A and B are shown apart, each in its own frame.
Chain A
Amino acid sequence: MVWHKDAEIPEDTDLVLLPGGFSYGDYLRSGAMAAASPIGSALRAHADRGGYVLAICNGFQVATELGLLPGALLRNAGLNFVCRPQVLAISTNSAFTSAYGTQQEVSFPIAHHDGNYFADDETLDRLEGEGRIAFRYCDNPNGSARDIAGILSENGRVLGMMPHPERAIGGHEGGVDGAKLFESVLAAA
């Protein structure tokens, strides 16, 4: 565990998980303060040297604020906090989805207020053109542009997503679909 006030990530780190929750009360904008934490530049350096990053929910918001991923997460279009199981389509093959084989849909829990992905049309076209939309909502819960639930960085090693795969690994909640995401990235990293 690396604390947000730390300034370094161990050099041999293969994968950084940027978890969800709330950070700094999500004051100003969700993830904005956390992106200004001392650990921010180390995280950027980790991504720059080709390290894997899995940024979930508030972590996704932090990753966009840090500039690791393009776009931003706006307030849900319906204004409500949404909390429910959510079916997603796997939109592209990536290091985070290799273990799913031919499986095309997964169900992960979602729980967020600011999950409405926004980017300008040019950025959205580029994401689509470069196969960087990792997951799309099958029944868009928050008004997200082009049903985007998760996106990849240019090198495919940073995945930001609003849904929670870690809440779907076969425990008492959320189903089992998330386990393969972790199997995939652990095999790649």
Chain B
Amino acid sequence: MRARVHVSLKPGVLDPQGKAVSDALGRLGFSEVGEVRVGKTIELELEDGLAADAAEARVKEMCEKLLANTVIERYAVELV
């Protein structure tokens, strides 16, 4: 089983990287692009045989303790 964790800055938290990417896309002619937010994806390989509920709860705990800083970031967990 694998878990995919998406971490992104919370709405309202300035994302200078996203701003730079948005500006660069504009310069390349992609004028339809508005705000851009840059996040990250973390893929975790989990041991086999875990129940989905339990696995999700454990990964959320990992997010709270390390993978995300909930002062500035939000996260979403996907089991794949």
Q: Name, among A29, A36, A143, the residue most crowded by chain B CB atoms within 10 Å (CB to CB).
A: A29
Minimum distance in angstroms from A40 CB to a CB of chain B: 11
Say whether A32 faces chain B, with CB atoms less than 8 Å apart.
yes
**CB pair A65 B69 closer than 8 Å:** yes
Q: Determine if B71 and A79 form an interchain contact, defined as CB atoms under 8 angstroms apart.
A: no
Task: Please report the C-alpha to C-alpha distance between residue A63 and residue B14 in the assembled complex, in whole angstroms.
Answer: 21
B54 in contact (CB, < 8 A):
no
Does B13 count as interface, using CB distance less than 8 angstroms? Answer: yes
B20 to chain A: which residues have CB within 8 Å? 79
Interface of A (DSSP majority class) = loop
Give A78's nearest chain B residue, CB to CB: B16
B69 interface neighbour in A72, A75, A76, A143, Cβ under 8 Å:
A72
Whether B66 and A71, one on each chain, are in contact in the complex, defined by CB atoms closer than 8 angstroms, is: no
CB distance from A91 to the nearest CB of B (A): 22
Q: Which residues of A44-73 have CB atoms within 8 Å of chain B's CB atoms?
A: 64-65, 70-72
In this complex, the member of A36, A70, A75, A143 whose beta carbon has the largest number of chain B beta carbons within 10 angstroms is A75
Partner of B17, one of A29, A71, A75: A75
Q: How many interface contacts (CB-CB < 8 Å) are there between A and B?
A: 38
Indicate if the CB atoms of B16 and A29 lie closer than 8 Å. Answer: no
Contacting pair A71 B71 (CB below 8 A) = yes
Instruction: Report which of B9, B16, B66 forms a contact with A28, defined as CB distance below 8 A.
Output: B66
Asked whether B72 is an interface residue with its Cβ less than 8 Å from the other chain, the reply is: yes
Q: Which of A29, A65, A77 contacts B14 (CB 8 A)?
A: A77
- How distant is A184 from chain B, measured CB to nearest CB, in Å? 29
Q: Which of B16, B65, B66 contacts A76 (CB 8 A)?
A: B16
Asked if A188 lies at the interface with its beta carbon under 8 angstroms from chain B, I say no
User: Bound state CA distance, A74 and B38, in angstroms?
Assistant: 13
The reply to whether B71 and A29 form a contact with Cβ atoms under 8 Å apart is no
In the complex, are the beta carbons of B71 and A119 less than 8 A apart? yes
Q: Does B67 have its Cβ within 8 Å of any Cβ on chain A?
A: yes
Q: Are A118 and B16 in contact (CB under 8 A)?
A: no
- The answer to whether B72 touches A72, judged by C-beta atoms less than 8 angstroms apart, is yes
Q: Which residue of B lies closest to A64 (CB)?
A: B71
Is the beta-carbon distance between A77 and B16 smaller than 8 angstroms? Answer: yes
Inside 8 A of B65's CB, which chain A residues have their CB?
36
What mask results when residues 10 to 27 of chain B are scored 1 for a CB within 8 Å of chain A, else 0? 000110110010000000
Contact residues in A for B69 (Cβ distance below 8 Å): 29, 32, 65, 72
- Name A residues whose Cβ lies closer than 8 Å to a Cβ of B: 28-29, 32, 36, 64-65, 70-72, 74-79, 116, 118-120, 143
